[in-house]
Every structure is written in structure tokens, then in C-alpha cells.
Amino acid sequence: MAYRLTKFFLYLTLSICVIWGAIILLGPRLINYAVDHYFGQSVKISGLEVSPKLQIYAARVDYIDAELGSLGRFNGYSRAVSMRLGNLTSLNPNLHISLGPSKLGGLFEFNELISRISYSQSETPDILNILTQIKGFTGKSLIFEQLEAEAIIGPTRSKIRSLQYNLQNIKATLPFNISAPNMVGELVDVTLDNHAVKSFQIASNNIVRPTVFDNSNGDQLSSRNVSVTGNYDDQTLKYSMRFDEIMGNNGVFAKDVVISSTYDAKAEKPQGRYEFKSEAVYLGKATSIFNGGSISNLSGSAEFLGSNLYSLQVDGQLNSFTIENEGTFLVQMPDGHLTVKSQLPDQKAKNDIEVAIALDTNDRQKLFIEANLGASFERDSVMNCIYNKCQISKLSVHYLINIMNSIMTGQLYCKTTDCLGSRFFHRVETQNTAEFFNAVSAAKLVNPMLLTYIYTEIMRGQKEGQGHIKDF
């Protein structure tokens, strides 16, 4: 009996060794055959080896006109590709995948990808756990230094129950330029339908002080309690984001913010429409000029073509604030209904913009202010000029002030190549000078000394009926 058992184990050991050796020797040929069978000429493997520990290694994998579903066909490569099975002696083996420097032309590239795939040891054993780390990622609209993610995939493989992620040094343009040293969050209940993201929800996303401008002096924003729901289908992203608070350098910037968006990535130039609303947006202080001030019940929309803003509309209630200079009262802005509209006059003239602003106050002041601004920028994108300080040329502002049915109009303009560093030309016209300034004085909105000075200067202008024309 002992002889037979010994003989059996010897034959078993020999068989395992033979199979093991055959896999090592014939493995590269078998793998190449399988790749050719399933992928044809679109995937080519170079330097293929199978180690004694059954680790599969390839020096390089080339993708030649490879099809990626709705994304189309692409060329690219991956270097230092390896696969191995771990934990073989237990009841829960796992698969390790490693890719070195990789590039998929026109889509993205990265320096390293490491992933471990295993079945869950929970009460539902057919749930997949995927741990992934990506370093040095660069894509069309996304760059990050490192990503660590853990995905839990349901039994049907059509739903990601949870995707926790940690992004380091991220930069994104969709269409705003946003950068942050760290982004941590979790996606839950991501439903997949025919390889498209049918729906997703971000349960929490703690964004640590993202920078919204490219320059080093850009304003800093951070958010609290972010939630996102949406779907991605046919290269169209639809989502809704909610922020309890958005904080700036000087405290709370906005409360209860909701942003809904539709982003069409399949267009020749990606198009996006954003609708937003906020319970309150705080103006804060600007070098001690603004004292308080906020816009409540704000709503509006913005449309982008690529990264260029071409339409903006804002509607809200402006709450009273004071304009001061070194502690001295200058102007009191009353409560009123505020509207802002902006439209690029021509999509081909990307460096031109027009803005219309209107403020309609309550019945007591009977104040209506309307301003139309037109400007040209040195750069080919208005948004690039916002992100980076640039020269403004051909700036013009036409405004109208109507208080108690008394009217003053004005023109402020500059035609040089650098309006910010040049003198402006300013023309003021009144229909009835005395009546207008009496109305302003009665409303008690302007410092009496400042009002007297302005009145004296306008009276020195050219008389036109009961009004005046004054050039400054």
C-alpha cells in the first residue's frame, strides 16, 4: 500500500512538472495564438516570456488600429506588461496586472498602472474587488499625478456598487481650468448599459482647495458636502452637482449651490450647457471698497464651445451694500433685481464679448441702472483671458441711470491695445441736470460731498437745453 501511494505521488509530481515545463516553454506560443485568434492584427506582442512562477511578461504590446467601442479606432502601445496569479494556495486567488509607460494616441497616456483583481470574501463571493493605482496620467481634459481606486462590482458585472478614489495633483478642463492637490470621494451605484454609464452617483467628494485660475495668484475655492448624480451615454454627459457651501479665500462664497450640465463630447468642439442656482452668493470685500453685499436666489445658465464661453445669463436679487473708500461712505447700493446677459457677437470672433447688466430697485428709490459693456482681448479665448491676466483693448461701456424718471447717460471707452494701463475717455450727458441731482440727493444714495463735486464738474460741461454734456 505504501509503495502504491509513493508511486502515485511520484507520477503526480512528474505530471505537474511536465505540464509546468510545457506551459513555460509553450506558453508564449499559445498566448500569441490566442491573441491572434481574438484580436487579429490589431494587437502585437513583443518579448513574451512565461516565468517558472507562471508570471507572463511582455516587453511591449502594440495596438494597431484597435477598436475601442464608441471611441473608435486608435494606435498605441504599452511597455513592460506583466500578469500573474497570486495566493494560489488559498481559496481566494487574485490576478495582478502591471503596465509600464503606455499611450493610446489621441486619448491618454500614463507612466504606470498596477491592478489587483480578486473575488470578495464577504457573504456574496461572486462580487469582484479591483484595486488600481495609476501614475503620471495625461489625457485630453484631465491630468493627475496619481490615482488610487478601489472598485466593488456586483455579480451581474453591470453595476459598480462602489468606487472609492484618491487623486493627487489633478488638473481638469471641462471647460473650466480646475486644479487641486488632492481629491477624495466615492462613486456609488454606477449602472452600466451596453458599455455606457447609464447612471452614477457621487456620495461624497471632499475637494481640498481647488485652484480655479491657472496663474499663481488665482483665487482659491474649497467645497463642503458635495453630491453628484448623472449618466454618460453616447458620449453625452449629463449630471447635477450640489454643494452645501463653497468657500473662498475670505470665507463663504456661496451657499446651497446646484449646477446641472449637459456636455456633448462627440461634437467637433465639445459643447456644454450649465444651469445653476444658489441660495446666496456673497460679494465679500474688494480692497475695503465693498462692505458686505450678496445676491440671493441667484439662477442662470452658461454655454461653452470647447473652453470658450459664448453665452451667459444670470438672474437674482441684489441685497444692499455700501461702497467705501478708506472707511469713508461713498455710495449706498439699494436692494434690487439684477440681471446679467453676455453673448459673443460672432462665434468666429472668439476674442470679443458683450455684456448687458441691469439693476431695477424697489419703489422707494425708483432707481434703474443699465450698462452695456463690449471688449476685445489679446488672447483667442475669453476664458483664457479670465484665467490669465491679459490685455484688454477696444473697451467700451454705455450706461443709463434712471432715478425717479430723471436720466443720466454715459460712455466710457478706450481704443488702445492696453486699456488697463491707459486713460479712458468718459462722456456724461443729462437731460435735466438740476432735476437729476435733486432726485439722487433725495434718495440719499451718494455721499453729499461726492455728489456736490460731481454736480459741479458736470455743470462745467457743454449746456444742452436743461441738461449738460461733460467730457472727462
Residue-wise pLDDT for 279-292, tens only, equals 988 876 554 555 56
Beta bridge partners of 100: none
**Measured distance CA(17)–CA(28) in Å, rounded:** 18
Mean pLDDT across 369-388: 66
> What's residue 12's pLDDT?
46
**What's the CA gap between 453 and 442, in Å, rounded?**
16
Q: Within 10 A of 268 (CB to CB), how many other CB atoms are there? A: 7
Whole-angstrom Cα distance, residue 465 to residue 433? 10
Residue 43 has pLDDT above 70, yes or no: yes
Identity of the amino acid at 438:
N
In percent, the amount of the chain with pLDDT more than 90 equals 11
Task: State the average pLDDT over residues 420-426.
Answer: 69
Answer with the residue of higher pLDDT: 343 or 311.
Answer: 311
Q: What is the mean pLDDT of residues 405-413?
A: 88
Q: Of 228 and 436, which is predicted with more confidence?
A: 436
Q: What is the average per-residue pLDDT within 7-24?
A: 47
Q: Are 230 and 239 in contact (CB under 8 A)?
A: yes
Which of 383-397, 415-429, 453-467 has the highest average model confidence (pLDDT)? Answer: 453-467
* Mean pLDDT rounded to a whole number for the chain: 76
Residue 2 has pLDDT above 70, yes or no: no
In this prediction the pTM is 0.64
pLDDT for residue 211 is more than 60: no
In tens, the pLDDT along 61-72 reads 888 887 766 566
CB atoms < 10 A from the CB of 247, how many?
Answer: 16
**DSSP 8-class letter at 40:** G
Residue 53 carries which DSSP code? T
Residue 347: pLDDT band with limits 50, 70, 90: very low
CA distance 100 to 112: 5
Beta strands in 249-405 (DSSP E): 251-264, 271-282, 290-291, 294-305, 308-319, 321-325, 328-333, 336-343, 352-361, 367-377, 392-403
Residue 116 scores a pLDDT above 70? yes
pLDDT band of 20, cuts 50, 70, 90? very low
> Average pLDDT of 409-433?
78
Distance CA 328, CA 311 (A): 38
**Neighbour tally for 243: CB within 10 Å:** 23
pLDDT-derived band at 121, boundaries 50, 70, 90? low
User: What SS3 state is found at 451?
Assistant: helix
Whole-number pLDDT of residue 194: 62
- Confidence grade of residue 15 (pLDDT, cut at 50, 70, 90): very low
pLDDT of 375 > 60? The answer is yes
